[in-house]
């Protein structure tokens, strides 16, 4: 049997479904049995990550750790966490398990660097932006990047929350307005650095200007699976 | 926290993703935290159900039971199994656990009966047809149903296998030809009685002539969740 990918998910639940869907689409298979086994713990009641970072709301750490423990006990052999903002707690989570744990920011930045991508804007939650998850790494690699201004960032966050509340159309219109503005000031690429954004922009996601963090994470996990399985 | 739905999945993996997606779409929620927690064990290497029924291939039971045990240990509080053919082993699985375990055939037939649906064709794997999963129940309820003839059934099975091999377009064309034939002989409704079929017919699935077994199963699970949660 192929190695089991564990998904520490529910942040949000649709992002977990998107990651599972992308695992299937990235696996060459002619029948069910050739696909990769996945255990997904999708606990949407994990406290809001951005609220915890920005406003000192309840920390999501303990519930994320509980989900990780379930994945360990269930036999997961490699962990992915399809939520960018949750990676604020990545080091602490990774240190608490012996199972390989892929990092969504690292794999996404690796792609940007290896493909020589520049003039890239970071589309992410206000929490992810505030803690500089992407900025720190891109700065080190001398990648030119743009962080949306405060007004744009408020609109992006509103878009993400609209999607989470079930209003995909409003979510799309909000983020599209910011993307148009950013293109006008020379941005050529966009990091979909919140796992809701590929869903909001579904239909646009295959365009080369978008870098899908969920997609990169999944591709790396599938690759890990093939390299480490018997 | 809401009660946890456990998915005994991977049969096929895309059907598990579809069920998770439908749980989200059937849950009224304004933010992540209002969604239902789900643990999905998606083990696509569970032996092929139809091959086991028709040709005496390896039984999938032990691997399904192993997945069920993982769900129990992980804390699942209600089990769903988004694979119709797998319900050949439902009684045995249900008898081996204390957790409520919903039955996809039962909930689908309940809908047909309660809505007074008649002249319905069963679109399913050859395994599901052979063991009469739907026929037995519909006969008891005096519902007029049509079972595809041998040639049509071979085409339906080919369609399902094409989808599982990644060829959605071929899958659609094959099943569409049978659906057209069945409409010509007076069939008014179609049970999508294999969890790949709503995926093959995605885009058509909302039409009233289709009865989506996955959708019915999920609606029942969500309802269970609301009725039994604090």
Q: What is the pLDDT of residues A73-118, one digit of tens each?
A: 999 999 999 999 999 999 999 999 999 999 999 999 999 999 999 9
Omega cis (within 30) before A12: yes
Q: Is A52 inside a domain boundary? A: yes
A81 shares its domain with A174? no
> Cα A138 to chain center, whole Å?
16
A164 shares its domain with A89? no
Interface residues of B toward A, Cβ cutoff 8 Å, are 1-2, 10-14, 16-17, 20-21, 23-24, 29-48, 70, 73-75, 161, 164-166
The CATH number of the domain where A87 resides is what? 3.40.50.1860
Best CA proximity match to A82, nearest among A9, A132, A13: A9
A41 shares its domain with A115? no
Q: Is A229 inside a domain boundary? A: no
pLDDT in tens, A123-174: 999 999 999 999 999 999 999 999 999 999 999 999 999 999 999 999 999 9
Composition of chain B by helix, strand, coil, percent to 5: 55, 15, 35
Count of domains observed in chain A: 2
- What DSSP string runs through chain A? -PPPEEEEEBSBHHHHHHHHHHHHHTS--SSGGGSPPEEEEE-TTSPPHHHHHHH-PPPSHHHHHHHHHHHHHHT-SEEE---SGGGGGHHHHHHT-SS-B--HHHHHHHHHHHTT--SEEEE--HHHHHTTHHHHHHHHTT--EE---HHHHHHHHHHHHHHHTT-HHHHHHHHHHHHHHHHHTT--EEEE-STTHHHHTTTTTTSTTEEEHHHHHHHHHHHHHHHH--
A122 shares its domain with A84? no
- pLDDT (0 to 100) of residue A183: 95
A83 shares its domain with A130? no
Q: Is B230 inside a domain boundary? A: no
Q: Is A58 inside a domain boundary? A: yes
Rounded average pLDDT over A172-199: 96
Q: Is A62 inside a domain boundary? A: yes
Residue A218: give the domain boundaries.
3-102+214-224
- pLDDT (0 to 100) of residue B205: 54
Rounded average pLDDT over A181-209: 90
Residue in chain A lying closest to B45 (CA): A33
A81 shares its domain with A107? no
Low-confidence ranges of chain B (pLDDT < 70): 205-206, 229-230
The CA distance from B69 to B67, in Å, is: 5
B98 shares its domain with B128? no
B77 shares its domain with B122? no
B25 shares its domain with B96? yes
Q: Is B77 inside a domain boundary? A: yes
Q: What is the pTM of this model?
A: 0.96
A93 shares its domain with A118? no
Q: Is B91 inside a domain boundary? A: yes
For residues B74-109, b (16+ Cβ closer than 10 Å) or e, as one string? bebbbbbbbbbbbbbbbeebbeebeebbbbbbebbb
Residues A37, B10: C-beta atoms closer than 8 Å: yes
Q: Is B229 inside a domain boundary? A: no
- What DSSP string runs through B125-148? -HHHHHTTHHHHHHHHTT--EE--
Report chain A's mean pLDDT, rounded to a whole number: 95
A80 shares its domain with A34? yes
Q: Is B109 a catalytic residue?
A: no
Pairing relationship of beta strands A120-123 and A189-192 according to DSSP bridges: parallel
Test mutation, A2, A5, A6, A17, chain B, max B CBs within 10 A? A17
Token pair belonging to A73: 């006990």
A139 shares its domain with A153? yes
């Amino acid at each position: 049997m192929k190695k089991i990918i564990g998904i520490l998910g529910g942040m949000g639940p649709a992002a977990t479904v998107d990651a599972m869907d992308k695992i299937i689409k990235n696996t060459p298979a002619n029948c069910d049995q050739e696909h990769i086994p996945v255990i997904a713990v999708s606990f949407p009641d994990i406290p809001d990550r951005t609220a915890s970072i920005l406003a000192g709301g309840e920390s999501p750490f303990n519930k994320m750790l509980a989900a990780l423990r379930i994945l360990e006990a269930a036999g997961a052999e490699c962990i992915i966490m399809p939520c960018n903002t949750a990676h604020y707690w990545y080091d602490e989570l990774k240190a608490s398990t012996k199972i390989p744990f892929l990092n969504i920011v690292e794999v996404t930045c690796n792609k940007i660097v290896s493909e020589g991508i520049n003039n890239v804007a970071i589309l992410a939650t206000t929490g992810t932006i505030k803690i500089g998850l992407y900025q720190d790494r891109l700065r080190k690699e001398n990648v030119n990047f743009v962080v949306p201004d405060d007004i744009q960032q408020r609109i992006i966050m509103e878009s993400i929350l609209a999607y989470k509340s079930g209003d995909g159309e409003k979510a799309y219109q909000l983020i599209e307005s910011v993307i148009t503005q950013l293109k006008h000031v020379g941005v050529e690429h966009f990091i979909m650095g919140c796992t809701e954004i590929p869903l909001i922009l579904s239909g646009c996601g295959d365009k080369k200007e978008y870098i899908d963090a969920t997609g990169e994470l999944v591709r790396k996990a599938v690759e890990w699976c093939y390299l480490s399985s018997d």
